[in-house]
Amino acid sequence: MPATPSGSLTAPSRATGRHRSLWMDVWLAFRNHTGALAGAGVFIAIALAVAVGPLIHTVDPHYLDILAKNQGPSLKHPMGTDNLGRDTLAQVLAGGRISLAVGFTAMFIALVLGTLVGVLAGFFRGLDGLLMRLTDMFLALPLLPLLLVVIMLFRDSLRAAFGPETGIFLLVVFIIGITSWMQTARIVRGDVLALREREFVTAARSIGTRRRRIITRHILPNVLSPIMVSATLGIANAIITESALSFLGLGFPPDFPTWGRLLFDGANFISVTPARVLWPGLAISLTVLSVNYIGDGLRDALDPRLRGA
Amino acid sequence: MFGKCVIGLAIAALAVAMLSTSAQAERGSDGHLKILYWQAVSTVNPYLSGGTKDIEAASLVLEPLARYDDSGTMVPALAADIPTVENGGVAADLMSITWPLRQDIVWSDGTPFTAADVVFSAEYCLNEEMGCNPLSSFTDVTGVEAVDDHTVRIHFGVAKPFPYGPFVGSNAPILQKAQFENCAGARAQTCTAQNFGPIGTGPFKVDEFRANDVVIFSANENYREPGKPAFATVTFKGGGDATSAARAVLSTGEFDYAWNLQIEPEVLEQMVANGQGTLVAGFGTMVERLVVNQTDNDPDLGKDKRSLYLGGTNPHRFLSDPAVRHALSLAIDRQILVDFGYGAAGQVTCNVLPAPPVYASAANDACMTQNIEEANRILDEAGWLPGDDGVREKDGVRLSILYQTSTNSVRQGTQALIKQMWGQIGVETELRNIDAAVFFGGDPASSDTYMKFYADIQMYTNNFDGVDPEAYMANWMCSEIPGPENQWLGGNIARACNAEYDALAAEIAVTASLEERAAIARRMNDIIVQNQYIIPLIWRAKISAHANTLKGVRMNPWDSELWNIADWHR
Amino acid sequence: MTHYIVRRLLFAVPTLIAISFILFALLDLAPNDPTGQLPLTIPAEAREQIRESLGLGQPFHIRYARWMEQFFVNEPLNLIEQAFGIEIGDSESRLRVRSWATRSPVVDLIIERLPQTLWVVGLSYLIGILIAVPIGIVSAYRQYSWFDQLGTFVSMIGFSVPTFFTGLLAIIVFSVALQWLPSIYDTTHRVTDLASFWLQIKQMAMPVMVLALFNAAQISRFMRAAVLDNLTQDYVRTARAKGLRERVVLFIHVLRNSLIPVVTLIALGIPTVFGGAIITEKIFRVNGIGELLITAIQGADIPLVQTLSFLFAVLIVLFNLIADVLYGVLDPRIRYG
């Protein structure tokens, strides 16, 4: 009976000389996971649509055709137009680029920060108090005044250094990342606290495994599930938060479409032109759903006991 | 309105004389009225908050000496008559005004209303420690005296051609001396019970107050007009947003009246189509305008020079050229802006002073139609020629505009439309929106306020209280240019200095005849808009909605829109 | 454990003081202004007087010290006086923390707002947990069954569609089209009999539903992941091998070990219950603590924002401590050094 849930199982397979690496195993398992494959398919489709779509549907998302406002779906405007006569499909496609980029980058920052703080606090007793009080402080900061201060301090210098778009992008992902890692950190820490006392960690420690290796080979793979869930929820959160930011004037300029913003602006028009909220809402949900299934597949694939089965 | 009141009074008196109880004349017979303001009421003391929501909620309880009716005419409220030079109420030297008070008024607690209350209210506001919001109503007041129990004289330090500042309009009503006596100065802050439940002379009294949430009023048993108000109780709910407020009156019918519905017209039209309610609009002096920066706002200039007038030595890189400003105004199709964002709540205007009618200039109507060719021709002629990317430039200066405004979906749509219109004349525009609390806040440390104006063009609405534009027009004098020397407190946001304008501003301050004042004000308006220091866009209305079952609503853009709530009925 | 709790509580005092200072500095630095929402018809001179009357002319450290005194000395004294009906010292001239927008004591405002927030947000949180935990367990136990797929789908929709949209949708369906439920919450409504109780249920239904969906979505995902992790652990095999009934294995062994992330989440969530749900409260005009906070932030009502944020900080520190204690109960191996 293997005493370690993860990591050590791959060691014998490597020892036997079969040249299947850990990641090859993971990929094979992932490939057999229907949900994950479907998720990946949908996600790639969305990413492709967003990347290539504007080349096929060549309507300028910023062009206002005020005579053609509030139109329903037609050949010319497959998703209709908004109250300024902008083409909704073009806006959804253009908005997707920003939303996906912001969603993933911000989620990634939050995840890395949260996991790092969580693992360090859970594993090293000396750091626990300090890091968790820091987490408490970040949880206690009211978001809105914080944002206003950040805009005041950094917007102009970032705009000068990187130009209006890149500068704002950096600011937005930084802000969302820095204000949404705390939950991940708390959850990861809770799990690590329990893991630290488990037999396989004690065993690894007793045979003199270095702490860094214990963390990467034994602790991290076992907190992957909550991290994956955090990642899925984090993307949705980042996409929505971005729209709240642009509402405050911190986000992209007001004529820049993003999914969250399209949903927000379209909400009042729900009974006039329902397509305006249906499509961006669907885009966000589908993205989150597909990432969720990819995460599920990845988690299952990384779990050696399931993989072996 | 006044005639109607008299008739109403006569009928009521007749009814009392005949000892009959007509259902119509019975106070409180129409039950419960539900009013929805999407900004909640913070206090019922308008001296402590100048927010429209607070002033209008207080106008159910507190009354001024005189108010404006829906046509902008002054009508007496607690005063017996409007003093004029002709009837001797205003001194011939224009240095004082004497108000005769009605003798039949009692406060809702039953005690009589006297001149002492008026004198107290003036002293209450003029105390520097209290932070009086309607302070500007009391400009130049040097003293208020009670001539007798029912006569009040207000003295001014200078000749006041328009002496109807203090106690006219709902922003500066009369407080009861007995109740507020111990709340003067710095103690105004601590009188929570008084501020939340002032005793008044109006048709209603406060029963329950929940700050920033809801106010419950009930009919004032001591109100001077018998049989009024028709409603026994009023719920004055706050919070949420404008669209859902409109929905609560027009779609679900949960409320009777919803305030300030600046919503995209197609959304509003669809709700009105339900047939449950009606929109009411009233055009006052609100104008949505572009303010054109006349000083250089280049970020590289640093805070000692950026957007500062500096005696005219710091002109804007390209907006100081009248040709550019003229072209920018010509390129805008204002009717499209109205159709997109305002509908019935907006009209195209070319004046920064659109009302009252006597002050409205007819000299600028040419701007009402967009003229792209003419705008292009003017720019060509002035030497601004399209560069490689289509953006016009001259001597290395590109016509690239940073255009800012507060966050509001209609404003962002307007920004996008104007950006495209300016694109047609080779002008590049970057849009920025700023949270309203920052943009309109006066924090001198912030660089995003409209006073600092670290942009080329900005957009917002301004207006003035009452019907006299003198103080409003004085905003655009050279001395009012904001800068560090006056903590950015001046009203000349465009930072334009015009000697002829200053001379006219001095002249209107000493002119008494209404016709002459109107002519000067129109000329001042023309200077501002013909030089395009300010580019007027839309004359905005106050717009609200009421249920079809609610009768008697008369929208009033000059005063509280609840000014005649005593006459409302089912 | 008692030793640990005492030490943590002692450590919380400097933490909270540091937080209060950072909060105050942050709010002071923020560029919004209490006169920002006044109409432009109020001229600059009057605005300056208003700012002075609010004490904004004072230097930063004086204002901070004054808030500390008002919050840590005057307000507790006042609460004691109210609770016992006694008078300690000169209570008339004792300055309380006052909101700048309403000029009334901040503590009174909070007390006025608490009932509706606890009813609506608290209930939705409770319902969210009660839905999420069973769904999470069943979803994990029957992984990739139709129930799991449906649960995944619904919770992803619930999480990715923001409450401003689900709330609006609910109003359009239940208030506008069906006319079943009121779209505006009446905070003055009092439950006295069955009919008024029914009305209370009706006016709470939509905000509670909308929030519960959002909360359940999140918690059920973490619950499912945690149960999945534990189902494949060796102790589960051991327990089954010993012949324990499946129900015992699932509900005693697996559930207990899966609760750590969920306890963390719930502990993080309870302070936000007291903090209200800003968007939902605004949409349905519940006007609870969340609405109070957002209005105060927008109006730069620093004393109110400072006090509310600080109270949240206290709750956050407290509930994170409770979570840490619960970890020890759930998994006795967890020790704190």
Are the CB atoms for C282 and C291 separated by under 8 Å?
yes
Note the pLDDT of residue B99. Answer: 96
Q: Could you tell me the two tokens for B272?
A: 């009105």
pLDDT value of position B15: 45
- Which DSSP string corresponds to A125-170? HHHHHHHHHHHHHHHHS-HHHHHHHHHHHHHHHHHHHHHHHHHHHH
Q: What is the DSSP letter of C233?
A: S
Calculate the alpha carbon distances from C280 to A242, C125, C277, C289 in Å.
Answer: 18, 13, 6, 11
Nearest CA-CA partner of B26 in B231, B233, B227: B227
Cβ–Cβ under 8 Å, residues A253 and B430: yes
Nearest Cα residue to B370 out of B344, B342, B338: B338
Only one residue has tokens 């603590």, namely C289
Inspect the interface and report whether the beta carbons of C260 and A194 lie closer than 8 Å: yes
Q: Is A272 on the interface with B (CB under 8 A)?
A: yes
Q: Which of residues 245-274 of C touch B (CB under 8 A)?
A: none
- Locate tokens 């009203």: which residue? B491
pLDDT of residue B491: 87
Measured between CB atoms, which of B42, B131, B441 is closest to C52?
A: B131
Instruction: Give me the mean pLDDT over the A244-262 stretch.
Output: 76
Considering only CA atoms, which of B423, B334, B418 is closest in space to residue B370?
B334
Q: Could you tell me which residue, C88 or B427, shows the higher pLDDT? A: B427
Give contacts of A255 with chain B, Cβ < 8 Å. Answer: 412, 415-416, 419, 431
Contact state of A193 with C294 under an 8 Å Cβ cutoff: no
| β-bridge partners, C98 | C105
- Residue C89 touches partner B, C-beta closer than 8 Å: no
CB contact under 8 A, C162 and A183: no
C-alpha neighbours within 13 Å on the C-beta side of residue C5: 10
Residues B296 and B304: their CA atoms lie apart, in Å, by 12
Flag if B131 and C299 touch (Cβ within 8 Å): no
Two structure tokens written together for C74? 């005057």
CB-CB: which of C264, C317, C327 is closest to A136? C317
End-to-end CA distance of chain C: 10
C-alpha B21/C-alpha B422 separation (Å) is: 66
CB atoms within 10 A of CB A67: 8
- pLDDT value, residue C94: 77
C-alpha distance from A73 to closest chain B C-alpha (Å): 18
| B151-156 and B96-100 beta bridge pairing | antiparallel
Per-residue pLDDT of chain B (570 residues; tens, 9 = 90+): 344 444 444 444 444 444 434 445 688 889 999 999 998 999 999 999 888 899 999 999 999 999 999 999 999 999 999 999 999 999 999 999 999 999 999 999 999 999 999 999 999 999 988 889 898 889 899 999 999 999 999 999 999 999 998 999 999 999 999 999 999 888 888 889 999 999 999 999 999 999 999 999 999 999 999 888 999 999 999 988 889 899 999 999 999 999 999 888 999 999 999 889 999 999 999 999 999 999 999 888 888 889 999 888 999 999 999 999 999 999 999 999 999 999 989 999 999 999 899 999 999 988 889 999 999 999 999 999 999 999 999 999 999 999 999 888 889 899 999 999 999 999 999 998 888 878 887 677 778 889 889 999 999 999 888 889 998 999 999 999 988 887 787 889 999 999 999 999 999 988 888 899 999 999 999 999 999 999 999 999 999 999 999 999 999 999 999 999 999 999
pTM for this structure? 0.86
Neighbours of chain A (3+ CB pairs under 8 A): B, C
Q: Rounded to a whole number, what is the largest CA-CA distance in chain B?
A: 88
Instruction: Say yes or no: A83 contacts chain B, CB-CB below 8 A.
Output: yes
Q: How far is B255 from chain C (nearest CA, A)?
A: 9
Give the C-alpha separation, B312 to C228, whole Å.
73
pLDDT at B348: 95
Query: What are the angstrom distances between the C-alpha of B246 and each of A10, B51, B260, C175?
Result: 64, 20, 9, 13
Neighbours of chain B (3+ CB pairs under 8 A): A, C
Q: How confident is the model at residue C8 (pLDDT cuts 50, 70, 90)?
A: confident
Look up residue C316 and give its amino acid: I
H helices, E strands: number in chain C: 15, 0
A45 against C300, higher pLDDT: A45
- Which strands form B96-100's sheet, in the order they lie side by side? B96-100, B151-156, B141-148
CB-neighbour burial class of residue A163 (10 A; exposed 0-12, middle 13-18, buried 19+): exposed
Q: Tell me the CA end-to-end span of chain B in Å, nearest whole number.
A: 19
Residue B316, C-beta contacts closer than 8 angstroms, at least 6 positions apart: B293, B294, B295, B296, B297, B456
- Confidence band, pLDDT 50/70/90 cuts, at residue A19: low
DSSP states of C7-43: HHHHHHHHHHHHHHHHHHHHHHHS---TTTTS-TTS-
In chain C, which residues have their Cβ closer than 8 Å to the Cβ of A264? Answer: 164
Q: What is the pLDDT of residue C42?
A: 82
Element (H, E) at A307: helix A304-308
Chain B residues touching A152 at Cβ < 8 A: 446-448
Q: Do B443 and C31 touch (CB under 8 A)?
A: yes
Whole-number Å distance between alpha carbons of B169 and B171: 6
Q: How confident is the model over A49-68, as a mean pLDDT?
A: 86
**Complex ipTM:** 0.86
Residues in chain C closer than 8 A to A272 (CB atoms): none
- Nearest by CB to residue C261, choosing from A125, A148, A226, is A226
> In this complex, which of B340, B407, B409 lies closest to A66 when CB atoms are compared?
B340
Question: Can you list the positions of beta strands (E) in B259-345?
Answer: 277-292
Beta bridge partners of B217: B206, B234
What size, in residues, is chain A? Answer: 309
C103 at interface of B, judged by CB pairs closer than 8 A: yes
Q: How many CB pairs under 8 A join A and B?
A: 69
Q: Which residues contact B59 (CB under 8 A, 6 or more apart)?
A: B170, B173, B202, B559, B560, B562, B563, B565
- Report the 10 Å Cβ neighbour count for A254: 24
Mapping DSSP to helix (H, G, I), strand (E, B) and coil, where does residue B361 land?
Answer: coil
Q: CA–CA separation, B121 vs C272, rounded Å?
A: 44
Number of H helices, E strands in chain B: 15, 19
The alpha carbon of residue B449 is apart from the nearest alpha carbon of chain C, in Å, by 9
Concatenate the DSSP letters of all residues of C149-200 into one string: HHHHHHHHHHHHS-HHHHHHHHIIIIIIIS--S-SS--TT----SHHHHHHH
Which residue of A133, A191, A233 is in closest CB contact with C260? Answer: A191
Peptide bond into B166 cis (omega under 30): no
State how beta strands B96-100 and B214-219 pair: unpaired
- Does C313 sit within 8 Å of A140, measured CB to CB? yes
Q: Does A60 contact chain B (CB < 8 Å)? A: no
Residue A244 pLDDT? 72
Q: Which positions in chain B touch A253 (Cβ < 8 Å)?
A: 430-433
Select the more confidently predicted residue: B402 or A34: B402
**Cα–Cα distance for residue pair A268/B267, rounded to 1 Å:** 7
Tokens of A273: 């032109």
Q: What is the pLDDT of residue C254?
A: 86
* pLDDT higher than 90, residue A141: no
Q: Measure in Å the smallest separation between the Cα of B433 and chain C Cα atoms.
A: 14
Strand runs (DSSP E) across A171-277, as ranges?
none
Average pLDDT on A272-289 reads 87
- For residue C266, give how far its alpha carbon lies from the nearest alpha carbon of chain A (Å): 11
Most confident of A237-246, B419-428, C23-32, C75-84: B419-428
Question: Are the beta carbons of B238 and C287 separated by less than 8 Å?
Answer: yes
pLDDT of residue A205: 87
Q: What is the pLDDT of residue A249?
A: 62
Q: What is the mean pLDDT of residues C36-64?
A: 83
**Proportion of chain A in helix, strand, coil states, percent, rounded to 5:** 75, 0, 25
- Nearest by CB to residue A253, choosing from B420, B431, B438, is B431
Check B416 against A255: CB less than 8 A apart. Answer: yes
